Chains A and B, each alone.
Chain A
Amino acid sequence: MPNLKTRPDGLRESPMKQVLAKADAERATGDVFAAARGRLPGVGLVAQIRARAFDVYKRAGLPHRRMEDWKYTDLRALIGEVLPLAPRPDAEALVRAKVSAKQVAADQAVKLVLVNGIFAPELSDIGRVENGVVVRSLREVLEDSATGAMAGLVLSTTSDSAISLNAAMATDGLVITVNDGNAVKRPIQIVHVATGSSVSTYTRSYLQLGKEAHAAIVESFVPAEGASGYQANDAMIALVGDEASLSYIRVAAAASDAVNISSAIIAVGARAKLDLFSMTCSGSISRYQGFITLTGEGTKLSANGVNLVRDKLHADTTIVVDHAVPHCTSREKFRAVIDDCGRSVFQGRIVVRPAARKTDATLTSRALLLSDQAEADNKPELEILADDVVCSHGATSGALDDTLLFYLRARGLSEKDAQMLLIKAFIGEAIEGITSENLRDFVTVETERWLQARR
């Protein structure tokens, strides 16, 4: 194929341009996979799974606006190409990563650090992992022939091409197993630190929570000093056992010119309790997509989230809750605060399968626009195939309420303080759903940090 750059300008504007551009980007991605292959852990079955996943990705290409689920986040237009795989972090990178990881550490948490997509045991609290919890690195699991059977589960994909790309390219991650009946006292915090520039990283973690087990997982995404323009693609596969209880908090604060794509595929058993919270507060392009399937009766799900958007951040949160069985309850609360030229996207879909009688599902999504260049896109979808259910959704968007501002100002608050108070209350509605007080404080501190920068 002729090199585009050598062509005269007139030709580049032809209708063929897009087609060529797509082909070019795909070829580049193909190169990225081919170049990385030797460094990806796992042979035999694992390598086969990776090749298959890559094929799926290659057929669809980068997600674009013609794909309904990616309508508002056109990666083909926003990113254009996939950057080469990040190198293994060197000693210098680990030093920088250590500083960042420390900054975001949650109180009392057992910290597990991934630097540029590679597990860094020297920065992690491996020694503090509690009894009844087994933590291994993904690399170790994929390279261990005895656990080969797990590969299919750990590297599972959906029709989503970003997840397929992740399965093909995952360099490392954490495989965490919590034994049946085990109540883990301290939260487990997975910290993703990006240290590179103009590279891509891929991690994939797997969590298996046994029957009647209790655990809290915190996932943080931060850049180390000097990291810029990177692309992080992460995935979490979680199985929550019957009568188990899981709190799962995710806070994404990528570098201001970085891309963060995170996916979670979660299956929940019977009479379990899942408490999910996701927050995005910086970066250039961010997409969080959670696919939660309720596979056992009597389960309660709460899936909340906040997008705090400023500058030119494009933050997309997409949550799909699939009620596959009867008698489950799901509650979703999503809030977006958008300033400057930011754009927040929220897509929430509730699916109620024909068998899922007595489902009780609600979803509310609210957006607060603080500037005239801000944009909020909301798509709260319902897909209901059973008749004996209660489902509802609500969505609003608008500016701060003038009468409320006036009320506060009349009581002596400055304009900024009054706004701050109202924004805090607005976000608080989603945060108060977090059951653990410690984790609620942890998230509140993060939101405070965002709000302070507004001053």
Chain B
Amino acid sequence: MVAVQETIERVRRIDVDQYRYGFETLIESDKAPKGLSEDTVRFISAKKSEPAWMLQWRLEAYRRWLTMTEPTWARVDYPKIDFQDLYYYAAPKPKKTVTSLDEIDPEILKTYEKLGIPLREVAMLEGVEPKVGEEDPARRKIAVDAVFDSVSVATTFKAELKKAGVIFMPISEAIREHPELVQKHLGSVVPTSDNFYATLNSAVFSDGSFVYVPPGVRCPMELSTYFRINERNTGQFERTLIIADKGSYVSYLEGCTAPQRDENQLHAAVVELVALDDAEIKYSTVQNWYPGNSEGKGGIYNFVTKRGDCRGAHSKISWTQVETGSAITWKYPSCILRGDNSRGEFYSIAISNGFQQVDSGTKMIHLGKNTSSRIISKGIAAGRSQNTYRGLVTAHRKATGTRNFTACDSLLIGDKCGAHTVPYIEAKNSSATFEHEATTSKISENVLFYCIQRGLSQEEAVGLVVNGFVKQVLQKLPMEFAVEAQKLISISLDGSVG
């Protein structure tokens, strides 16, 4: 079946030409010399006043990176990246030492204001009406770490979080202030040798967020990082490390935008999540990097390695992503289900338009007993884009009693685009039960029957079921984009193909 008109209109509204965050902030910045060498690595490390062990760690990663080659297995196509033609570090020039928000360069504040990111705690606390277009009823207290090019410019609600014992700060600060935590966990989920881009990131990462939630603590508010690339010809390499200690809970949100430019820019981030016994991490992303113009010129190359380690028993990691931006997306948020009875979830909506290329999916690696995972992925391709779901589900020989359910649907709008599904399903013991399906009518016959019995049409019923999975997570997204994202999820399932 072809897509219904309503769907087409909605997707058009987020077409590449409609990119609303494409402005550039004119601000003086402090950059590392162009190109990449051991000196660049040392420069970044020195800028961050890092301890010697950190520099050593970076240099080892850099040396290993030199021996690696770019991966080519993904279904994406782009000209070779000249890694010497990039700036690996760019930071807004500080006018003086910043002690409060008021002293931050007003240009930066204005940028975030324009993006709709609340950096002013006051406004939030007093419940001042947000500006136009921010009528989201779910809006509430959110701690934000704002990363501008290579540095974190502000982190809000630090004091209140501290009271709860939660550490939320730029990773560069964490390296100095909590070296024992960082040293123990950094690279423990995504090792420096993991893959080409993760290794590059390990060598040159400049900033990102660090979260530690102590045992038994339920993080009192949503944590969020907002990434902004501003400077020309820079690569953004941020690193996020989240540790949820025993019995804790944290929900973390990430958003990203970049100015409209003709050149392609590289973004190679690494995100590591560690969940110990009974801990839960919910990680949500609204990825809206500049996707390039309608002729496919410019845009961000988003080559990201995200992985969560359910290290403890009964732990849970849930990834939610709404992908609408980037010229090329190459990311597979994964869960290593190591602890017995741990659970991994992946909910994804990837919408590609123009000349965008998306190769995204997840990996659920079942190592512990009675582990379970669920994958719900919806890809919508329009224009001349290519949208690929690539996912691995594997059960280790000793991972008895594991379960996985995967459903991936894709929808094509127009005849110049492509939607592809490449699942890898590997069962290495007989008690692993894996189900992979792409037929929407088969989600759950019982639930559908129940809905239909109450007067809903088949399609309405299916829509209700799928939305039920993702909606509760999406409603919690703080950015105004969440409203738009919600509308996108409710896209009719008419004409969806496996």
Question: Footprint of B on A, CB under 8 Å?
Answer: 68, 354, 357, 362, 367, 369-399
Contacts and interface: CB of A to CB of B under 8 A. Distances in A.
A384 B427 contact: no
B1 A369 contact: no
Contacts of A381: 420-423
B431 A399 contact: yes
B427 A394 contact: no
B208 interface: no
Contact of B423 (A354, A371, A379, A388): A379
Interface string B418-450: 111111111111111111111100100000000
B217 interface: no
B443 to A, nearest CB: 12
Nearest to A401: B433
Contacts of B428: 375
Interface of B: 1-3, 73, 397, 400, 410, 412-439, 442, 495, 497-498
A382 B397 CA distance: 28
A371 B427 CA distance: 11
Given A369-B429, A378-B426, 16 more contacts: A357-B415, A362-B498, A369-B430, A374-B429, A375-B426, A378-B424, A380-B425, A381-B422, A382-B420, A384-B410, A387-B413, A391-B497, A391-B498, A394-B436, A394-B438, A397-B433
B439 A394 contact: yes
Contact of A397 (B414, B420, B425): B425
B1 A388 contact: yes
A395 B434 contact: yes
A251 B431 CA distance: 29
Contact of B397 (A357, A372, A394, A398): A372
Given A354-B415, A395-B423, A378 B430 contact: no
16 contacts: A354-B416, A373-B397, A377-B426, A379-B423, A380-B423, A382-B410, A383-B418, A384-B410, A384-B497, A386-B415, A387-B413, A392-B498, A393-B437, A395-B436, A397-B434, A398-B427
A384 B418 contact: yes
A290 B108 CA distance: 59
Q: Interface centre among B417, B433, B436, B442, by most A CB within 10 Å?
A: B436
Nearest to A351: B420
B414 A371 contact: no
Given A384-B419, A388-B2, A376 B426 contact: yes
Nearest to B435: A396
Contacts of A399: 430-431, 433
Given A384-B410, A384-B420, A392 B497 contact: yes
Contacts of A395: 423, 425, 434-437
Contacts of A389: 497
Contacts of B410: 382, 384
B415 A387 contact: yes
A379 B422 contact: yes
B269 to A, nearest CB: 26
A-B pairs, 7 with minimum CB distance: A369-B430, A387-B412, A392-B498, A378-B425, A398-B433, A395-B436, A382-B421
Q: Secondary structure of the A side of the interface? A: strand
Given A369-B427, A390-B497, A382 B438 contact: yes
Contacts of A390: 1, 497
A431 B423 CA distance: 25
A298 to B, nearest CB: 20
B385 to A, nearest CB: 12
Q: Interface centre among A68, A367, A375, A384, by most B CB within 10 Å?
A: A384
Nearest to B414: A387
Nearest to A373: B397
Contacts of B397: 372-373
A378 B397 CA distance: 16
Contacts of B422: 379, 381
A362 B442 CA distance: 13
A451 to B, nearest CB: 18
Contacts of A397: 425, 427, 432-434
Given A387-B3, A391-B497, A396-B435, A372 B412 contact: no
A2 to B, nearest CB: 26
Given A376-B426, A386-B412, A387-B412, A394 B442 contact: yes
A379 B425 CA distance: 6
Contacts of B421: 380-382, 393
A395 B436 CA distance: 5
Given A380-B423, A392-B498, A374 B430 contact: yes
B493 to A, nearest CB: 13
Contact of B430 (A354, A370, A384, A386): A370
A385 B430 CA distance: 36
A371 B428 CA distance: 10
Contacts of A370: 430
A394 B426 CA distance: 14
Contacts of A362: 439, 498
A384 B417 CA distance: 9
Contacts of A383: 418, 420
B425 A377 contact: yes
A380 B497 contact: no
Contacts of A393: 421, 436-438, 498
Q: Interface centre among B400, B423, B430, by most A CB within 10 Å?
A: B430
Nearest to A72: B426
A376 to B, nearest CB: 5
Given A372-B397, A375-B426, A393-B438, A385 B432 contact: no
A387 B415 CA distance: 5
A300 B425 CA distance: 28
A371 B423 CA distance: 24
B217 to A, nearest CB: 38
Q: Interface centre among B2, B418, B419, B498, by most A CB within 10 Å?
A: B498
Nearest to A339: B430
B227 to A, nearest CB: 32
A384 B75 CA distance: 13
Contacts of B438: 382, 391-394
Nearest to A343: B428
Nearest to A376: B427
Nearest to B398: A372
A398 B434 contact: yes
Contacts of A382: 410, 419-421, 438, 497-498
Contacts of B433: 396-399
Contacts of B424: 377-379
A27 B161 CA distance: 66
A68 B498 CA distance: 21
Nearest to B395: A397
A388 B412 CA distance: 8
A380 B420 CA distance: 11
A362 B421 CA distance: 13
B292 to A, nearest CB: 21
A397 B415 CA distance: 34
Q: Interface centre among A357, A367, A397, A398, by most B CB within 10 Å?
A: A397
B71 to A, nearest CB: 11
Given A379-B424, A390-B1, A385 B434 contact: no
